[in-house]
């Protein structure tokens, strides 16, 4: 087998068509948009966007926020969502929670050989020859982008596959100046991405400062407990501050190890980039290999 093919899925699902970004992005409000949506991950940046809108500092006011629930966020993220949804803040727009199911359940079932899918988080894979790679990510598309896109279509009043005119939806995404690499055009021609934090020149630190100055708690990053994009610092923070999430991540890590037995993947899977069981990784240093959660889903994770 050629070396570069060692990490491929044994039977990857054939894409129906090449995915291209058909929509655009906008610096400032999208003229004529019928719907303005905040993509809410309930992390620092999207929480800042929601509250700045409520303070009248960014506009026009979104019609709603949409939170895509993967079923695998740490408890503090769900607490943050509940806080945002509670009447005490008086957010002037509703928060819709959408879900394509539980990615955690799908992984558990796949590890037990009960289904043909694995949710495809970008787990690290170690081949029989000890080479490390990373499997392609499918989770963002399935658990974030698609449910949010479906909700937007519903809110516009269009049926599945019915053609929607161009630029009908303005989508606010909470990307700050320290992660501009994540900003991009929309996947659909009927929606346009907008990055209000970039417009205001705000970094993640600026967001944290703004929240603190206004008396709001600073939330943690949102991401599935077992998301392999975490840096060592982020893993260590989870281990030391959220033992329940850490326990879950360690359990999922052990569970996926032999998923290849069910013929899906050639190699052992790991949530940590070192290819070592998570609870055995030396997390004492601040080694930050790769981009960490900067590379996480654009549709809400980590925002």
Q: Which of the 8 DSSP states describes residue 264?
A: S
Smallest distance from ligand SF4 to CB 106, Å? 11
- By CB under 6 A, tell whether 121 contacts ligand SF4: yes
- The site map against ligand SF4 for 144-163 (x = CB under 6 A) is x-------------------
For residues 301 and 222, the answer to whether their CB atoms sit within 8 Å is: yes
Among 139, 265, 269, 281, binds ligand SF4 (CB under 6 A): 139
224 to 253: interface string for ligand SF4, x by CB under 6 A = x--x-x------------------------
If DSSP codes are grouped into helix, strand and coil, which group holds residue 274? coil
Could you tell me which residues come within 8 angstroms of residue 30 by beta carbon, excluding any fewer than 6 positions away? 36, 167, 170, 192, 194
Stretch that binds ligand SF4, among 79-87, 137-145, 160-168, 258-266 (CB under 6 A): 137-145
Strand order in the sheet with 35-39: 24-26, 191-194, 169-172, 35-39, 64-68, 95-98
For residue 240, count other CB atoms closer than 10 A to its CB.
10
Please state, in angstroms and rounded to a whole number, the distance separating the CA atoms of residues 223 and 245.
11
Q: What x/- string results for residues 277 through 296 when contact with ligand SF4 is judged by CB under 6 A? A: -------------------x
48, 158, 242 from 217: Cα distances, Å = 11, 38, 17
Confirm or reject binding of residue 70 to ligand SF4 (CB under 6 A): yes
Q: How many residues bind ligand SF4 (CB under 6 A)?
A: 14
Helices and strands per DSSP (H, E), number in the chain? 9, 9
Residue number, 211 or 249, with CB nearest to ligand SF4: 249
Nearer to ligand SF4, 62 or 121 (CB): 121
Pick the piece of the chain touching ligand SF4 (CB under 6 A) from 35-43, 177-185, 210-218, 220-228: 220-228
Task: Give me the residues that bind ligand SF4 (CB under 6 A), please.
Answer: 70, 121, 137, 139-140, 143-144, 223-224, 227, 229, 296-297, 301
């Amino acid at each position: 087998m050629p070396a570069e093919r060692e990490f491929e899925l044994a039977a990857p699902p054939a894409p129906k068509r090449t995915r291209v970004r058909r929509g655009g992005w906008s610096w400032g409000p999208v003229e004529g948009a019928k719907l303005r949506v905040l993509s809410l991950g309930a992390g620092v940046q999207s929480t800042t966007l929601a509250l700045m809108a409520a303070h009248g500092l960014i506009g026009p006011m979104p019609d709603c926020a949409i939170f895509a629930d993967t079923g695998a966020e740490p408890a503090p993220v769900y607490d943050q969502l509940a806080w945002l949804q509670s009447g005490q803040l008086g957010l002037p727009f509703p928060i819709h929670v959408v879900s394509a199911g539980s990615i955690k359940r799908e992984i558990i079932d796949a590890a037990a050989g009960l289904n043909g899918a694995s949710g495809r988080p970008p787990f690290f894979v170690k081949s029989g020859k000890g080479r490390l790679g990373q499997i392609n990510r499918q989770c963002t598309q399935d658990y974030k982008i698609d449910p949010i896109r479906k909700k937007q279509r519903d809110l516009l009043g269009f049926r599945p596959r019915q053609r929607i005119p161009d630029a009908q939806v303005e989508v606010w995404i909470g990307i700050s100046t320290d992660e501009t690499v994540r900003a991009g055009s929309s996947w659909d021609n009927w929606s346009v991405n907008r990055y209000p934090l970039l417009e205001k020149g705000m970094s993640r630190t600026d967001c944290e400062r703004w929240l603190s100055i206004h008396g709001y708690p600073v939330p943690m990053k949102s991401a599935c407990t077992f998301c392999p994009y975490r840096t060592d610092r982020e893993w260590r923070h989870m281990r030391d501050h959220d033992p329940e999430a850490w326990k879950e991540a360690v359990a999922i890590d052990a569970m996926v190890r032999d998923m290849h037995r069910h013929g899906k993947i050639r190699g052992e899977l790991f949530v940590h980039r070192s290819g070592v069981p998570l609870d055995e990784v030396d997390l004492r240093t601040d080694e930050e290999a790769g981009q960490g959660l900067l590379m996480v889903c654009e549709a809400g994770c980590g925002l």
